[in-house]
Structure 1
Amino acid sequence: MLHSVETRSVSPVFVGRAGELSVLTGALGLASAARAGAPQALLVGGEAGVGKTRLIEELIAEASRGGAVVIVGGCVEIGAEGLPFAPFSTALRALERLLPGELAAAAEGHEEELARLLPELGPRPRGDHSRYDEQDMARLFELTVRLLERISAERTVVLVLEDIHWADASTRHLLSYIFRTLRRGRLVAIATYRSDDVHRRHPLRPFLAETERLRTVQRVELTRFTRGEVHRQLAGILGAEPEAALVDRVFDRSDGNAFFVEELARIMAEGNVCGLSDSLRDILLVRVEALSEDAQRIARILAEGGSTVEYGLLLAVARLPEDDLIEALRAAVGANILLASADGDGYRFRHSLAREAVSDDLLPGERSRINRRYAEVLEADPSLVREDERTTRLASYWYHAGVPAKALPAVLRASVEARLRHAYAEQLRLLERAMELWDAVPDETRAGLRPLDYAEAYPACGCDPGTTPLRFLDLMAEATVAGRLSSERERALKITKRGQRLAADERDPLRAAWFSVERSRLVSALGRGDGWAELAQAQELVRGLPPSAVHAEVLAEAAGWRRLHAPGPDTLETAERAVEYARMVGAEEIELRARFVLGVLMVDAGDHDAGLAEMRAVRDRVVARGLPTLIGRVHATLPTVLEAVGRSQEAVEVMTEGIDLTHHYGLLDSEAWILGNLAESYYTLGRWDEALAAAERGLRIGPSPKPRGFATLQLAALGLARGDTEGAARLLTAARDHFGPNDPMPQSSLPMAAIAIGVAVGQGRVESARAEFRRVAEQGFPPGTQRYAWPLLRAAAALEADARGLPSADEGRARALDLIRKTAGSFAATVPVWIAHERWVRAELLRAESRDTAADWAEADEAFEGAVFPYERAAVRVRLAQALLPEDRDRAAELLRCAAGTARRLGARPLADETALLAQSARLSLTDGAPTAPTAAPGPAFGLTPREEDVLRLVAAGRSNRQIAQSLYISPKTASVHVSNILAKLSVSGRGEAAALAHRLRLFPSADDQVPA
């Protein structure tokens, strides 16, 4: 039957993927239907040959029928590394062919930067050897997102990136950035990958894990065909109904893999039914070996050239007469082994599995010989390949040809190209390859290499890149920076350790200190420590040496570290020396960074106006110069300093500008930090819904743990203030996980402690709350941490005041109050907001001892009048109203109405409940109407029955269910039911939390009073 039926390699019938295709077309419909655009992101995974390409082809056909613009880019596998941004370059090149005018308009003003992805847009910048910038790649990513948004604003665009299991790291980072940040446009972004290739240590695995937490990305996993689907596929290929025995045999041999079904059907159609090996490799090679000698030779050459090989390059490498080459290609294409490339300029294997099988079948000498031919031909005529691929492919060919003297310069040139495209991960791999080749290259070859040609990190290392030969240390320094910028921190850390040892052996203290600073950054980023040991070592290495850029860098980093972790008198001096040294050697960026740290330290020391003026001057300079790294830093830090001294509205204005700038430069980490700070200032200003939105966005876009941790911390504080104690507890745990245990900075550890106290109080765990404050107080509060210390002290003092009368809290109260007073006495309240908190703490301490008066609370209220703290002032006014009730009920009622209005507007449920209960117990109205009728306090507020009120009184007194049953003459089971109902009505999780709530809200005059006999 097989011989009598015309066969096709590909079934004309689309088999078995209706559900998966429905997901893709659904995403296409969502993107197309939205008026302003609703971008869609999808990941399509499946093993090699399972049918991913066919599924995408069906979607492309559907999209094209609907008028969508479809652009496709495939990841290129060349040796051990891919071409930087290859699929994006291919896709944008297709876009230029389809929509040249629209692409030019969308890229207008940014052609030079976007030319790193698409050289046709204009000449790419050749780099600046005077400095390197961590945020260049982020800037390129942001411009790419904006380009896609503009192109897809008026039409549906489908962007397909195939085979991202081969993607270079820069492509993965860009795709991740697009998935996280694309918010506008009618764009459908689809990436496909081989799931069976993604082993535990595959570089794509972290990318896939990251997309799991993105709600905006859909995952589509293709499984193998069932027997019925194989039957339908064979019927389409054969053009007739297949015999059951044939279906069984093909299904058993292919195991439902669509590509293997095609190959087996073709082989069996050609009569090769018997003796067929079960191995995948042999199945794939059978049809290649059936070709003519010339066609097989072309297949072997093509397999080593890359995913696609240009016709002119293939002609030169094959050394065949052109007519013979064409005949060989015609035979391979006719056998459906090769295909012409989409642009018609070259050839590729129809399926990458076949190319891999042919490549793996080459003999070692044969492989190096083919690669050497490619390298020689390309070196002789570089025009045979595109300019943006030329350098990388030549480096790969020479490397696999096994000619180190040729490979090393080629690999170094390719590393420069990768750096200029901000493809730092590819730069790192190439530099690692250069280090591997270093010892195999003759001395005279290495002597001709100069740092100026191959590196840009070295001016900071203290060497002269123009006259000295390139050294192995130079490669290591450049690889260190590339590793840090590409987030390949583990590899970079290993290089820094080795580089530091080598610099020490060569008695080069400046280089050793430079590597030590890099180690400090990496150790901190990896959560292996706080980085101080490495900075201390760097300071020892430069001690006594003349001023240099490295020396200034060390001092600036040390001052910045101490400001965050352990500020003290010597920190200011270190910052001043860093500024002085940087000016002496003309290192302006280091000088600006040191000046900014100096400004912060001046504010911490009490010189607020001068310190803020210095910080603003630095901010203006870095914005004028367009220094992205410092732009992110100053706009994240200046607002926190303004917030610390009570200038919250000014802080918001700075952050609004900062978000625009960091978004413009694509600085996601900096933007996430600023959003966390913005949430904090919005909280202060009483703009809680805006605070929630800012914190949630910071958590969503932050690529690094610490900014995500800070955003989570703001969400926890907001949740606690709104009465979600359990949610705040979960968020607090998440924040601790983000920050990690090895870098305890006061600006995160102290707010976390304050929230931990609030959570413990809300859950009725008084002793746990006390232990948390005691732990922090015993560790001490570094200078400059008043802004974090005062809210913590207030939480601890309020705890003691609210727990007054709670029997389980009596023991240890005097000791706790003494510790709070002693700690508070060590702080100088020098700005209005700190003075207000100090008076609040003092009033709470007096309340804990039943010694507070209306005058104490009036003083605190007056202090908050000059600060914009609506929630804090409302809380103080509730206490003031309570103290005024015996002597001035009208004023108390006015204060409670103001507090209730603030609590309702903010959604601060605990404060609203406390205000309502106090008003009810005092028979005061929270509106302008008549006073409320006298009622039992807790019932109306929480819907408690009289019997439940009795039970709650006993719960607050610390009685067990059995004791409650005995007191009320009910069964223990009935008492348990009442307790469960009370917990539900109070929205608390346990008896301790219910008791704490009862005492805090003064539901009963005393926990032990009025208990029924």
Structure 2
Amino acid sequence: MLGPVETRSVSPVFVGRTDELDTLNEALARAAAGEPQALLLGGEAGVGKTRLVEEFAAAAGRHAVVAVGGCVEIGADGLPFAPFSTALRALRDALSEQFAAAAHGQEEELARLLPDLGEAGTGRHDEQGMARLFELTARLLERVAAEQPVVFVLEDLHWADASTRHLLAYLLRTLRAGRLLVLASYRSDDIHRRHPLRPLLAELDRLRTVRRIELARFTHEEVGRQIAGILAAEPDPARVDVIFERSDGNAFFVEELAVAGCEGRCTGLTDSLRDLLLVRVERLPETAQRVARIVAEGGSTVEYRLIAAVAQLAEDDLIEALRAAVGANILTVTPAGDGYRFRHSLVREAVADDLLPGERSRLNRRYAEALEAEPALVPADARVMRLASYWYHAHDAAKALPAVLDASVVARRRHAYTEQLELLERAMELWDGVPEEVRSVLRPVDYTEDYPPCGCDPATTPLRYLDLMAEAAVAGRFGGERERALKITKRALRLLEDDPDPLRAAWFWIQRSRLVQALARGDGWQELATAQDLVRGLPPSEVHADVLANVAGWSMLHRPGPEAFAAAERAVEYARMVGVRDIELHARLTLGGLKVDAGDTEAGLAEMRQVLRDTLAEGVRQVAGRAYVNLPSELQSVGRDREAVPLLHEGIAFARAHGLLDSEGWIRGNLSEALYALGQWPEAAESAMHGARGAHSVKARGQGALRLAYLALARGDLAEAGRHLAAARAHYGTHDPMPQHSLPLARITLGLAAAEGRIADARAELLRALDTGFPPGTHRYGWPLLLAAATAEADTRTLPAARPGREEILGRLIEAVRKLTTGVPLWQAYDQWTRAELLRAQGTDTTDAWSPVVTAFECLDRPYDLARVRHRLAAALLAAGGEDERDRAVDLLRLSGAVAAHLGARPLADEVTRLAQRARLSLTHAPRQALAAADPAASLGLTSRERDVLRLVSAGRTNRQIAEELFISPKTASVHVSNILSKLGVSGRGEAAAVAHRLGLFPAETATAPTAG
């Protein structure tokens, strides 16, 4: 009787779980329809999570590809990203062509997760490395699941390494497309208060796209059905009562108790669950028990040949022992048929916990020795990690240290920086217990990438404890473990006080500066200044160049000026002297930006363009990503937004292709700013929302929120503007004030206060900004702020509550306007505009003040700004009182109103309407005499050729038809159409034709115009 019972301890009948299966099947149906799904399946150990997943996967496999990966039970000792690697391998095997197409061009990066794709990239690591890998993985899954439904299963998250948890969180946050269902399971009873999975579950619970399923224990009826399935007969009700009471409905314990009862052991069991788990193991033959203990200490899954090497039994004896363990349902054969694992992890844990300390160390030593003697016993990608774990748990420091260091290199290569940090901390723990003769043969070049060059050759110099600390600090910074990294840098600097080494100390101060900024503990300048003092007077070196490049970069953002310029120039010079290309390119990019800010526009832009070309040609992606941010930004700083837009689109494509999430976030923020200026507000909002959601760093997200605040304020949605302003402030924080953040924040704060009638708050914000000042290169942020303040004062000129303090505010504004840079047409126009608003604030503005402003903006590509100043000129014309002035004012107000309506700029539209009502003007049609007096096409800034093109657009002609009629190329026609759309402040040809019709530009032609075919 025992044989059949043992092989049927798992019920062949699937019991219960109807609601849970319905939820899973519904999610699969929605995924198959193109809506990605994510589910978390929780439940206590033994409650039946794996069985439910198996049943669902078996049914889903009929019309979807199911890829399963499981977390290993040895946590950080295992291969980072192990469940993702396993599931991706299964996915590649099932959909080889689709997988190859989806991974094309990114094989080097994706090989960090799936070594089968080839060698992982060997480029220098950076802070975006992990985020880049995550982004590429998410997009890979989206592409593979574009046509074929895919179920991506990750089991046993409670054992997941930190990198796996981070990747899963990223994947579930960013799933946007594909027929993909992600299902992850975990033990809920293992998630204690300090368990690392707990914060991830809390984070995922906040995502509307993630659903959580909690698997309950079986009811009394379900336990009876489960036992009936195991016994293949109806059980005695009394036995069901006993088993239900003792198992409390836990499916796995029901199985164990049912088998124990059949063997006559039910009454002899203790109340200890551990004893219940071990009882069947202890009934095995002694040799089989010994093999079970070996497998329990070997890992989640242990290869047959490795078991044989460790057990050192005759092959027949080993096979017989394994047969007994498999027959008793203690062990199962792996799906690949090359190894064994415990049928349930609870049994493995119980067997492992039953080992004596000395017995555990001895088994790990035998595993390590077997693996060293024959590395091919385990898969190549897992070998180094397994060996490091075995030697460490064997408590052999001399053997463990080099093995752990080798494992840390593998973790770094996979961008598993948290695991790398843990391994390096383990190495530091082992350091003092390792004989000097062992340490003396270790070399920094083998184990560290960010070894601080200190005038010695890392290939010949022995590895030092400080080298481990340096690598660990960088791993912590890259992996988001900044508190741990900061503690390491503090310890390292204390050690360097006793054993001075200026270059090493300077290198650690650079790391500390970055960490202090990332942790919102300060702006990082004091740390950089200390590093600069340490290297001052020393010969050129990589550390020296790095210090200078960081000082220049910091100064460009915080205090641009001669010192920043000098630091950038010396950084370039030193980097070239010591041959550090990436630092040189970074410093050249900074230098180019500083030149533009100082007024040497063309030379600075040329330098930045060359850096972009060089980085793309040489594959220096990190600097290329920064160039795609900074070069368009500098173009925007001199009013060349239209020139910046194609570069920004190119930069977004580059950043997405290479997973540069921070770069993409900054680029999208810049694109939003450019599109806002060009009058393409829906596209600007979309770009800002992408930046606010998708960026890796909080400051990049802050820029997206800031751009959304600008749009909301211009549209008159004050509540929305306030929400986005608060979000931007939270993202930027107060620890690291930069003019490029603080001045736009002040402008929105001031504008919002003025719109809500809080003139005192608006003035207070202005005074704070004026007291701080406008450093060189910040005119692009200063002019909008000064303009907003002058406009607020002019709008409240007649209010009694605004009179106190007005003279002081106007005096401060006039002084600030006088000093601020106006080196290019855009800011010259802003200068004129702000001065005209100041005259309006004093009640002395006239048409002579506003006409040059309108003329200046008619030459610029900024339809919203043009509409605003036209409204001001119209008001001045109406104040003048002549009939000709009224006719011209009508035309200007119609143009302003049309742009305001198109953009949804409600405050401007309301001002235009109110002004027309006060002057008793009709804006519904254009009088012929007004058209004769003033040409609306010219007032729109249209050239003669653009007027001809607009006439044909209004007649419904295509670009090719326009080209044929005007004897120009279709490409030239397309350029003219784009320029016209921008100047009219519209987004399409139909809207352009509507504006032309509304303004009566071509009354004769459009009356009989044919439609486009």
**TM-score band w.r.t. shorter chain:** 0.7 to 0.9
Aligned mates of 1:172, 1:291 — CA distance in 2? 38
Aligned mates of 2:223, 2:774 — CA distance in 1? 71
Which residue does 1:63 correspond to in 2?
60
> Which range moves more in the overlay, 79-88 or 158-167?
79-88
Q: Residues 238 and 898 of structure 1: is their aligned pair in 2 closer, same or farther, counting only changes over 3 Å?
A: farther
Which one of the candidate residues 43, 48, 64 is aligned to 2:45?
Answer: 48
1:89 aligns with 2:80: no
Aligned mates of 2:240, 2:720 — CA distance in 1? 57
Q: Deviations over 1:918-967 (max 9, x none)?
A: 22222222321689xxxxxxxxxxxxxxxxxxxxxxxxxxxxxxxxxxxx
Which one of the candidate residues 112, 118, 132 is aligned to 2:114?
Answer: 118
Which residue does 2:390 correspond to in 1?
397
Aligned partner letter, 2:891: E
Aligned mates of 2:502, 2:451 — CA distance in 1? 14
1:208-357 equivalence runs, <5 A = 208-239=201-232, 246-247=239-240, 249-274=242-267, 276-357=269-350
Which residue does 2:907 correspond to in 1?
910
Aligned partner letter, 1:85: F
Which residue does 1:970 correspond to in 2?
none
Which residue does 1:464 correspond to in 2?
457
1:512 Cα offset (Å):
0.5
Which residue does 2:561 correspond to in 1?
568
- SS of corresponding position for 2:41: strand
Q: Residues 40 and 547 of structure 1: is their aligned pair in 2 closer, same or farther, counting only changes over 3 Å?
A: same
Which residue does 2:920 correspond to in 1?
923
Does the Cα contact within 8 Å between 1:41 and 1:218 map onto a contact in 2?
A: yes
Which one of the candidate residues 433, 443, 446 is aligned to 2:436?
Answer: 443
Aligned mates of 1:124, 1:404 — CA distance in 2? 30
1:5 Cα offset (Å):
9.3
- SS of corresponding position for 1:456: coil
Q: Deviations over 1:730-776 (max 9, x none)?
A: 11111111111211111111111111112222322222222222222
Which residue does 2:961 correspond to in 1?
none
Which residue does 2:897 correspond to in 1?
900
Instruction: Return the TM-score normalized by structure 1.
Output: 0.87
Which residue does 1:705 correspond to in 2?
698
Which one of the candidate residues 520, 524, 533 is aligned to 1:531?
Answer: 524
Aligned partner letter, 2:61: S
Q: Residues 682 and 19 of structure 1: is their aligned pair in 2 closer, same or farther, counting only changes over 3 Å?
A: farther
Q: Deviations over 1:866-903 (max 9, x none)?
A: 22222122122222211211231111111111111111
Does the Cα contact within 8 Å between 1:7 and 1:237 map onto a contact in 2?
A: no
Identity of aligned residues (%): 65
1:696 aligns with 2:689: yes
Which residue does 1:654 correspond to in 2?
647
Which residue does 2:94 correspond to in 1?
98
Aligned partner letter, 1:173: H
- SS of corresponding position for 2:61: helix
Which residue does 1:635 correspond to in 2?
628
Q: Deviations over 1:765-806 (max 9, x none)?
A: 222222222222222222221111111111112222222333
Which residue does 2:171 correspond to in 1?
178
Does the Cα contact within 8 Å between 1:483 and 1:489 map onto a contact in 2?
A: yes
1:73 Cα offset (Å):
1.0
1:491 aligns with 2:484: yes
Does the Cα contact within 8 Å between 2:223 and 2:240 map onto a contact in 1?
A: yes
Aligned mates of 2:381, 2:759 — CA distance in 1? 66
Which residue does 2:27 correspond to in 1?
27
Which residue does 2:974 correspond to in 1?
none
Q: Residues 248 and 566 of structure 1: is their aligned pair in 2 closer, same or farther, counting only changes over 3 Å?
A: farther
1:906 Cα offset (Å):
1.0
Aligned mates of 2:768, 2:254 — CA distance in 1? 67
Aligned partner letter, 2:53: I
Aligned partner letter, 1:32: A
- SS of corresponding position for 2:822: coil
1:707 Cα offset (Å):
0.8
Aligned mates of 1:459, 1:395 — CA distance in 2? 26
Aligned mates of 1:106, 1:62 — CA distance in 2? 26
1:474 aligns with 2:467: yes
1:620 Cα offset (Å):
1.1
Which one of the candidate residues 547, 551, 554 is aligned to 2:547?
Answer: 554
1:554 Cα offset (Å):
0.3
Which one of the candidate residues 761, 765, 775 is aligned to 2:768?
Answer: 775
Which one of the candidate residues 837, 856, 862 is aligned to 2:855?
Answer: 862
Aligned partner letter, 1:189: V
Does the Cα contact within 8 Å between 1:165 and 1:197 map onto a contact in 2?
A: yes
Q: Residues 903 and 305 of structure 1: is their aligned pair in 2 closer, same or farther, counting only changes over 3 Å?
A: same
Aligned mates of 2:899, 2:229 — CA distance in 1? 71
> Which range moves more in the overlay, 111-120 or 640-649?
111-120
Which residue does 1:836 correspond to in 2?
829
Q: Deviations over 1:94-126 (max 9, x none)?
A: 23443445544544554444433333333556x
Aligned mates of 1:244, 1:919 — CA distance in 2? 90
Aligned partner letter, 2:684: A
Aligned mates of 2:582, 2:376 — CA distance in 1? 41
Aligned mates of 2:75, 2:910 — CA distance in 1? 68
Aligned mates of 2:324, 2:2 — CA distance in 1? 22
Aligned mates of 1:641, 1:4 — CA distance in 2? 78
Q: Deviations over 1:61-99 (max 9, x none)?
A: 121122x22111111233643312211222233234434
> Which range moves more in the overlay, 139-148 or 469-478?
139-148
- SS of corresponding position for 1:775: helix
Aligned partner letter, 1:306: G
Does the Cα contact within 8 Å between 2:558 and 2:738 map onto a contact in 1?
A: yes
> Which range moves more in the overlay, 384-393 or 651-660?
651-660
Q: Alignment length, in residue pairs?
A: 924
Which residue does 1:76 correspond to in 2?
72
Which one of the candidate residues 708, 729, 735 is aligned to 2:722?
Answer: 729
Q: Residues 198 and 854 of structure 1: is their aligned pair in 2 closer, same or farther, counting only changes over 3 Å?
A: farther
Aligned partner letter, 1:478: E
Aligned mates of 2:872, 2:111 — CA distance in 1? 64
User: Which ranges in structure 1 are unaligned for 5 or more consecutive residues?
Assistant: 932-1013
Aligned mates of 1:290, 1:770 — CA distance in 2? 85
Aligned mates of 2:710, 2:596 — CA distance in 1? 26
Aligned partner letter, 1:40: Q
Aligned partner letter, 1:615: M
Does the Cα contact within 8 Å between 1:169 and 1:426 map onto a contact in 2?
A: yes
> Which range moves more in the overlay, 763-772 or 434-443?
763-772
Q: Residues 689 and 133 of structure 1: is their aligned pair in 2 closer, same or farther, counting only changes over 3 Å?
A: same
Q: Residues 546 and 263 of structure 1: is their aligned pair in 2 closer, same or farther, counting only changes over 3 Å?
A: same
Q: Residues 263 and 803 of structure 1: is their aligned pair in 2 closer, same or farther, counting only changes over 3 Å?
A: farther
Aligned mates of 1:229, 1:381 — CA distance in 2? 49
Q: Deviations over 1:701-734 (max 9, x none)?
A: 1222111111111111111111111111111111
Aligned partner letter, 2:675: Y
1:4 Cα offset (Å):
13
Which residue does 2:154 correspond to in 1?
161
Does the Cα contact within 8 Å between 2:76 and 2:419 map onto a contact in 1?
A: no
- SS of corresponding position for 1:77: coil
Which residue does 2:960 correspond to in 1?
none
Does the Cα contact within 8 Å between 2:75 and 2:161 map onto a contact in 1?
A: no
Aligned mates of 2:398, 2:859 — CA distance in 1? 73
Which one of the candidate residues 489, 505, 508 is aligned to 2:501?
Answer: 508
